Each structure stands twice: as structure tokens, then as C-alpha cells.
Amino acid sequence: MYSDLLHALPDVFAWTNFAAVVIGVIAGIVVGAMPGLSATMAISVLVPFTFGLEPLVALGLMAGIYNGAMYGGAIPAVLLRIPGTPAAVATTFDGYPMAQKGEGGFALQVAVVSSSIGGIASAFALMLLAPPLSKVTLLFGPSEVFWVAVFGLASIIFLLGGNPVKGLISACFGVFVSVIGSDPIYGNDRFTFGQLEMLDGINIVILLVGLYALPPVIDLLETPLKTDGVNSSKLGTEPIWKALPRMKSFWKTWLRGSFLGIWIGILPGAGGSMAAFMSYNEARRTSKHPETWGEGEPEGVAAAEVANNADTASALIPALTLGIPGTAVAAVMLGGLLVHGLQPGPMLFRDNPDIVFGFMWQFLFGAILLVLLGGSLATNSFARLLNLPRPLLGSVIIVLMLIGVYSIHGRMFDVYLMLGFGAIGWVMDRLKFPLPPVVLGLILGGFAEENLRLALRIGRGDPMVLFQNWTSLILVALTVAVVVGPTLKKRFIDSRKKA
């Protein structure tokens, strides 16, 4: 399996594939530096434009954007005390006080070096852990794959966000969207309402762009940026090679934050925000001077940034091997894989080894490029992006969305559909309904239906075929644990408090 990893390396160095990673990292930093925008939105807008591209070019852009955006979120977090991405909230605790003391340049250099280290560790974890896990999943039959899909849906419903009922409603909506179109076995129309354009089902790109890209753009246009931030043109950033010696004492924080970020990234439903907070708290707890934290402690920036970047590639371990994304960005990237004919799950590593392993290398190079592309000169430039007029930025993104969706099939029906999903996404966002279960419902709904029907045909209609081996029973037990675990844990904590 690891020989395939080495075999894929030369393809990554093809100039188009490598240039895609470079462009993706720069675009990701720009997106992350703009409060209100996120890697999820950027990849959603990007996906329609990648139809005609080679898979490694498209995936290289996505990997670069993901890596770049996670660091880019630190720029407004340090300069404006506004996290560019949710994962950069912990960066504001010490990054902004540093900027107020005239150390904003050093804070951003700590952030970019820590982000790069976290990203590199995460990419190595993806390379080392995903291949053996995929080898195990290749042994799965239709009934086991069905239970994997059910487990994935249960994980995202009950572990993501704080309200399982809203998560369940979101997932049901996604599953409903997945059954629209022709029945894959008998060819009957399902929920097409007489529209010929819906016979082939709902294109996942239309759903992604509508749900993930339109709501933040509306918010961007609604809320003008008013801050008392630090003047980004007076950062006084020194060359990064001069700043590195001042960071050598952070190695324990980097090591601990990388481990936490990787571990949390693998867990479905966790994510970079939790990783950053846990890493920050742990680093502060073990610090010899915890009283200085929150007042401009560079190690606090390092702890937050290394962890929120260490969950990037590791979130793709369950996504690529089982089809279960660990984060919202991973869910959108699964959609990007489907667009290029790559079905995440047990067969991906067997059927497309060069592409999937090349994708892993691109994650690694994207993390390394962060230091070069987000260095002192670039950081000053990206910081000035904060002065861009937000209405102009929002208008440009909307135009890109319309062009991208229209170019899929060359018809206005898709644009109207995207706007409809955008309105649904905006309402769901305002009512605090989680969006990742919708995407996962669409991806895993069809996956679960296909394998359930296949398993039942093999078992001649007997539902007990779904419980006939230990693998299925273990997956059922894990699903039950995910469903009832949070409730039991809450009751246990409440009983301890009362005692």
C-alpha cells in the first residue's frame, strides 16, 4: 500500500498540479484573512469551476485552500480580534494583545510557522493511518457498508452541534434530497414534480454552493466591518528566519498541539475549534508563567494555531476511508471528490491510488508552502486585504457562484435551484440548524440505499442478513453508542452534581 504512496509522488510535481497547490494556498490565505469567509465557502464556490480540470489539479486547489485558510484566519484574529475562521477564536486571546503591544508581526510569524508544523504533522498522519484503515474496509460487504453509512450519519447528527433533534432534521433533509430523481434499480421517478431537469437527481455541487456559499455572503453584505483594529500597514514584520530562534522553546507546545489536533480531527463532529481550545488550555496549564497568558503570550498563539491546522488532513482519514467527514470542510471536499468520479469509501484506495495518494502529498506540500507564501512580505500584503470594501467582495463572490453553477449544465434551472438551497441554508443558519448533516445525508443517503437494497437482494429479502457477521454487529453497537452515549453521559454528570 505504501508503495502506491511513493508511486504517486512524481505526478504531484507536474507543473499544473504543483501550481494548483501554490494558487490554492494563496487563495486560502486571502479567504481566511477576510472575516465572514471560510474554507468551506471558498471550496464550495471553487468546485463548479473544476469540472474540466484534471482531478489532481482540482484536489490540489482544494488542499491548498484548506491549508491556507486555516492560517489566514489568524490575520484578522491578531490584528482586529475578529477570528477569520471559527478555529481561530483561541488565537485572539494572545494574538491581539501582542498586536496592541507592537508585536503583531511576530504574532503572525508564530502563527504561520505553527500552522505549517500542524499541517505537516496532519498530512503525515493521513499518509500513515489512512492506507491500513482502507485495507480493512476493503473487506466490507454491502451490509457492512450500509452500517458504515448509518454510523456516519449518526455520528454527524449526535456529535456535531449541541442539538441532536436539529441535526436529525438536517440529515433527513439531506437524505430526502438524495432520493430525488430516478430510482437506480426500477427507474421510477421520485419527487421530481414533473421537472425533467430533476430526473438525474440533485447535483451535489448545486447543493454545496447554495448551502455553504450564499448564507455567509449575505451576512457579509449585511454587516459592515467596524473595528478598532491595529493598523495593518505598520506591522514591522522581520524576516522569518530571524524570528525562528525566538520560537525554539515552543517545541513541546507544537508536539502536544499536533497530537491533539490530529486526534480531534479523526473524531467525527469535532473540528479545529475544539482542537485549538484544548491545545491552548493544555499549554497554559503546563506553562511556568500561566499568569502572562491572555496578555500577549506568543506560546498561546502557537498552541492555538498548531492544533487548528493539525486537524485539517486528519479530518480526511475517516472521510476518505469510510466516507464519514470529521468536519464541515471535509464534507464539502467529499462533494468535490464525487464531482470527479471518486467515490469516498472502501473502494477509493483500490480504484484510484494515484489520485488519492497524490492528494495526500498535495496536503503535505501545501502545509510546507505556508511558511514561504505566508512569510513576512506576504503577511503584510494579506493583512491589507482587510481594508477591501465588503460589498465589493460579496458581489464578486455572488457573480462567481452564478457563473459556476450555470456552467455545470448550461441552464438557468440550476441557478434557481442553487438560490433555493441558499435561502434554505440561510434560514437553517439563522435557526441554528447544522449544515454538515445535510451534505452527509445527500452523500451517504444514496450510498446507504444502494447497499441496503443490494444486501437484501443477496439475502432474498431477509433483513437478518444485515446482522449476520461480527463486523456488522460491531458497527451497530458503535451506532447505538453514538446515539445513547451523550444522553447517558449527561445523566451521569447530572447525578454526580446532585450527589
Going 313 to 318 to 322 to 327, the CA torsion angle's sign is negative
Mean pLDDT of 385-403: 76
Strands 189-190 and 181-182, sheet pairing: antiparallel
Dist CA 351 CA 343 (whole Å): 9
Question: Within 13 Å, how many C-alpha atoms sit on residue 398's CB side?
Answer: 16
Q: Is 456 exposed, middle or buried (0-12, 13-18, 19+ CB in 10 A)?
A: middle
pLDDT at res. 371: 83
Under DSSP, the state recorded for 209 is I
Dist CA 141 CA 308 (whole Å): 35
Under DSSP, the state recorded for 460 is T
Does residue 444 contact residue 149 with C-beta atoms inside 8 Å? yes
Q: Confidence band (pLDDT; 50, 70, 90) for 386?
A: low
Residue % of the chain over a pLDDT of 90: 4
Mutual angle of helices 104-137 and 353-373, in 10-degree steps: 170
Q: Confidence band (pLDDT; 50, 70, 90) for 237?
A: low
Question: Within 13 Å, how many C-alpha atoms sit on residue 463's CB side?
Answer: 0
* Alpha helices (runs of H) in 209-352, residue ranges in sequence order: 214-222, 240-243, 251-266, 272-286, 298-310, 316-322, 328-339, 348-351
Q: Could you tell me which of 455, 386, 494 has the C-alpha nearest to residue 143? A: 455
Give 110-169 pLDDT, tens digit per residue. 888 998 999 899 888 888 888 887 777 667 788 887 888 888 788 777 765 567 888 888
Supply φ then ψ for residue 79, to 5 degrees.
Answer: -85, -30
Q: Which residues of 390-417 are buried (b: 16+ CB within 10 A; e: fewer)?
A: beebbeebbebbbebbbebeeeeebbeb
Scanning the structure block, which residue is given the C-alpha cell 489568524?
74
Give 323-373 pLDDT, tens digit per residue. 776 667 777 787 778 777 787 776 777 778 888 888 889 989 988 888 888
β-strand partners of 182: 189
